[in-house]
Chain A
Amino acid sequence: MDYQDGNALAGPLSEIFTLDVTVAQGTCAGCGLRGPLAGLHVYGAAPGLVARCPGCEEVVLTLVRGPKDVWLDMRGAVSLRIPVTE
């Protein structure tokens, strides 16, 4: 296996979101599959991570961490449903 699961995104995403976004339900723009970001297949090593849909392997998001900026590219996500407390 040459990828990690989407929990590998938890650390890098916690730098830019106050909520744990890995539990958010994402919808793949390629095949419409819905599931938590923690279920994505994550490839690559720092500075660039590529998270792919477990259904169709299309790119859902990329995350690049530079010394001064983080680039979050959500090219393959139709939406993110993020649970919040009332």
Chain B
Amino acid sequence: MGIISRAFSGRPREPDAKLPPGQYLVHDFPVLSAGPTPRVPLDRWEFSIDTAEGQVHRWSWEEFQALPQETPTVDLHCVTKWSKFGTGWKGVSLDVLMEDVESAAEYALAYSYGGYTTNLPLEDLLDGKAWIVHEYDGEELAPAHGGPARLLVPHLYLWKSAKWIKGLRLLDEDWPGFWETAGYHNYGDPWREQRYQGD
């Protein structure tokens, strides 16, 4: 038995079960960008899915808006260590966008207006896990947060949720994106604290 009774050691503070390791909670919405904010007029906006087999599926802004919309409320986790709980979005599930896409690809490279890219296994975009969103907190998505539309993949670090999304390229082989070629982890699971290559 130890010298100090358990009664004096106090009860350890319960870690917040919603907060991944190494993260802290914020209530504002920090803006982090790897470059200038692109301004994309809606009449020139389009979203494409290119398959590894050479097919292209393309939506104009009007066609995209006409698709079934969902309103996910999700927690966000940024590799810079902030997390934000209960963010409300409106957009189209990738399950809807992939409905008529036939491909045997296992990977996707998301690419954005402005040149940003990020890679994900295709299965991480399906089964209700990812959306292309165009509203945040009941308002149209501001350019600083990725508007007109951004990818939202909340179960991975936020750099995977590409702002100013322009399209997805479906690939047979994994093709690391902007940060993934520069030292960030290839997958980026916040619950396994996969921040850097080798984590």
Cα-based distance from A17 to B179 in the complex (angstroms): 22
Q: Do B33 and A48 touch (CB < 8 A)?
A: no
Q: Do B184 and A57 touch (CB < 8 A)?
A: no
Q: When the two chains form the complex, which single residue of A43, A50, A66, A70 contacts B195, counting CB atoms closer than 8 Å?
A: A66
Contact-residue bracket for chain A: 20 to 34
Interface SS majority for chain B: loop
Q: When the two chains form the complex, which single residue of B80, B115, B197 contacts A45, counting CB atoms closer than 8 Å?
A: B80
Cα-based distance from A66 to B182 in the complex (angstroms): 11
Q: Say yes or no for B113: interface residue by CB 8 A criterion.
A: no
Interface residues of A in 1-40 (CB under 8 A from B): 2-3
**CB contact under 8 A between A44 and B33, given known A66-B195, A66-B196, A69-B196:** yes
Q: Do A64 and B184 touch (CB < 8 A)?
A: yes
Interface residues of B in 69-118 (CB under 8 A from A): 79-80, 115
Cα-based distance from A70 to B34 in the complex (angstroms): 18
Q: When the two chains form the complex, which single residue of A45, A48, A52, A68 contacts B184, counting CB atoms closer than 8 Å?
A: A48
**CB contact under 8 A between A71 and B183, given known A47-B79, A47-B80:** yes
Q: When the two chains form the complex, which single residue of A43, A46, A59, A69 contacts B33, counting CB atoms closer than 8 Å?
A: A43
* 24 pairs, CB–CB < 8 Å, chain A vs chain B: A3-B36, A43-B33, A43-B36, A44-B32, A44-B33, A45-B32, A47-B79, A47-B183, A48-B79, A48-B182, A48-B184, A52-B35, A57-B35, A59-B34, A59-B35, A62-B182, A64-B179, A64-B182, A64-B183, A66-B183, A66-B196, A69-B183, A69-B196, A71-B183
- Nearest 6 interchain pairs by C-beta: A71-B183, A64-B183, A66-B196, A62-B182, A50-B34, A73-B182
